[in-house]
Amino acid sequence: MSKPSIPKGTRDFGPRAMARRQWIFATIREVFKRHGFLPVETPSFENLQTLTGKYGEEGDKLIFRILNNGDYLSKADPSILASKDTKALTPTICKKALRYDLTVPFARFVVMNRNELTFPFRRYQIQPVWRGDRPGKGRYQEFTQCDADIIGSTSTLCEFDLVQIVSEALTSLGIPGYTILINDRRILAAVASSMGVTPERLTDWTVAVDKYDKVGIEGVVKELEVRGFDKKVENGIEKLFEINSASTSDEVLSLLEKMIASDEQGLIGLAEMKKLLYRSANDGIIEPNIRFDAMLARGLDYYTGAIFEVRVENSPVGSICGGGRYDDLTGIFGWSGMSGVGISFGADRIEDVLEYLDIFPKNIDLTTDVLVTYMDEDNCDLELQIVTQLRNDGFAVEMYPEAVKLKKQMKYAGDRSIPYVILIGEEERSTGKVTLKNMDDGSQTLVDPLQISSFLS
């Protein structure tokens, strides 16, 4: 047997990482719950056709497909096999694929369960997703998303709810220097239109603008040139960049208002952004923790209204949270007209940020509270009794499983950072007391077995 390994882009989580991850999930879940969101989980694999065609051509390539069990080749077309036509063969040998995100399965869930749900429906979902991306910094093939969506309402109160959730979660997680960037696809469309971009070329334009974060304004201008946009668009982007550099979100919005003056949808978007900023400010969420960003585009995602993205200053990873509104979330599964808005936290990137900044709370590491040592395999009824009693009192307690030398048992307690050890030697047994050793300061106290709990901090 060769040395065991795990697939690239995946990770094992030992006790220390688990303690941190459980804390992250619990913190986010708590915020979701406080906002009245209800939990949902969907299967790890979906029917292949549920997922294909939903994530763009690039996304489709990254979906992990599950090979049919049994003799999957028996019905395969010999000519497809002979020509090695991978694309044609796949749907004939794979019926299932791993979840790629939580949004598409949620849309499918809503359509399938619409009669049992009360709308507007607020759901949260915390589950792993899988993508065949090239692994890299902050990019894994298995990672966990924490999503919250509200479906069945077009009210901007929903957007506000999500901004509050992001702010509360990141505050509870202790993440410093975060900014919730907001924009609206209708504003982007109006801005593009003001530069002469036709509706057919809007996606192309958006994809170029979306690169700003990575390539800067010169890069975006070059990208627009490559994509065949004219000088007017290039100048327009430079102007947009200038507007976006104004010192406050309010100023940026005022300047934009002039730029897109006659575009009705754009103005609605502007008004909603203003309302969102006003309500956020009333709730104590102000710049730089929130900021209107006229250059925020969120790539190819099929948002139609508000969009969000969260970045963290001095952090090694990109966005740790993103989302937005889509007018027709469930339309892809045959139920039209349900508007939804949602956000998704990348738990693994949040873990990476907290790790990088070394700001995990100190008290979340898990350990056992008490180790009960054990000298004689045939005479340990009292030890076992104490173990049960302390567990009933709510403590995490272990008995060292073997009657080995005390030194070895104490070393185990030390290695595991167990704060208290109970020792019962001959003398203790004769006096009916036990020794409680504090591993921090080394102090030892003789205590009545029934009163141990009161000595544990």
Cβ proximity to its own copies, 30 vs 230, nearer residue: 30
List, in sequence order, every residue forming a beta bridge with 98; answer none if it has no partner.
45
Whether omega for the bond prior to residue 120 falls within 30 degrees of 0, making it cis, is yes
Letters for 275-294 (x = contact with its own copies by CB under 8 A, - = none) are ----x--xx-----------
Q: Is there binding between residue 39 and its own copies (CB under 8 A)?
A: yes
Q: Contact with its own copies (CB under 8 A): which of 50, 193, 249, 315?
A: 50
Tell me how many residues contact its own copies (CB under 8 A). Answer: 114
Of residues 296 through 315, those in contact with its own copies by CB under 8 A are none
- Name the residue nearer to its own copies (CB basis): 128 or 318: 128
Closer of 2 and 314 to its own copies (Cβ): 2
Which of 59, 128, 318, 419 lies at the binding interface for its own copies (CB under 8 A)?
Answer: 128
CA gap 36, 20 in Å, rounded: 25
Of 122, 186, 298, 349, the one binding its own copies by CB under 8 A: 122
Give the footprint of its own copies on residues 344-373 (CB under 8 A). 366-368, 371
Binding to its own copies (CB under 8 A) within 130-159 occurs at 130, 132, 142, 150, 153-155, 157-158
Which range, of 46-54, 197-205, 208-216, 218-226, touches its own copies by CB under 8 A?
46-54
Q: Closest Cα to residue 170, out of 377, 359, 341?
A: 359
Quote the CA–CA distance of 98 and 107 in Å, as a whole number. Answer: 16
Stretch that binds its own copies, among 116-124, 189-197, 226-234, 300-308 (CB under 8 A): 116-124
Question: Residue 330, class by beta-carbon neighbours within 10 Å (0-12 exposed, 13-18 middle, 19+ buried)?
Answer: buried
The interaxial angle of helices 212-226 and 202-210, nearest 10 deg, is 140
Residues 32-55 as b/e (b if ≥16 CB within 10 A, e otherwise) read beebebeebebeebbebebbbebb
Q: Which residue has the tokens 């209107």?
A: 292
Position 89 contacts its own copies (CB under 8 A)? yes
DSSP 8-state symbol, 308: E
Residue 54 interacting with its own copies (CB under 8 A): no
The answer to whether 14 contacts its own copies (rule: CB under 8 A) is yes
Structure tokens at 40: 């949902």
Residue 1 is a binding residue for its own copies (CB under 8 A)? yes
Burial class of residue 180, CB neighbours in 10 A (0-12, 13-18, 19+):
buried
How far apart are the C-alpha atoms of 206 and 210, rounded to whole Å? 6
Scanning residues 373 to 412, which ones bind its own copies (CB under 8 A)? 374, 377, 380-381, 384-385, 388, 391, 394-399, 401-403, 412
> What minimum distance in Å lies between the beta carbon of 270 and its own copies?
16
Contact pick of 19, 267, 281, 286 for its own copies (by CB under 8 A): 19
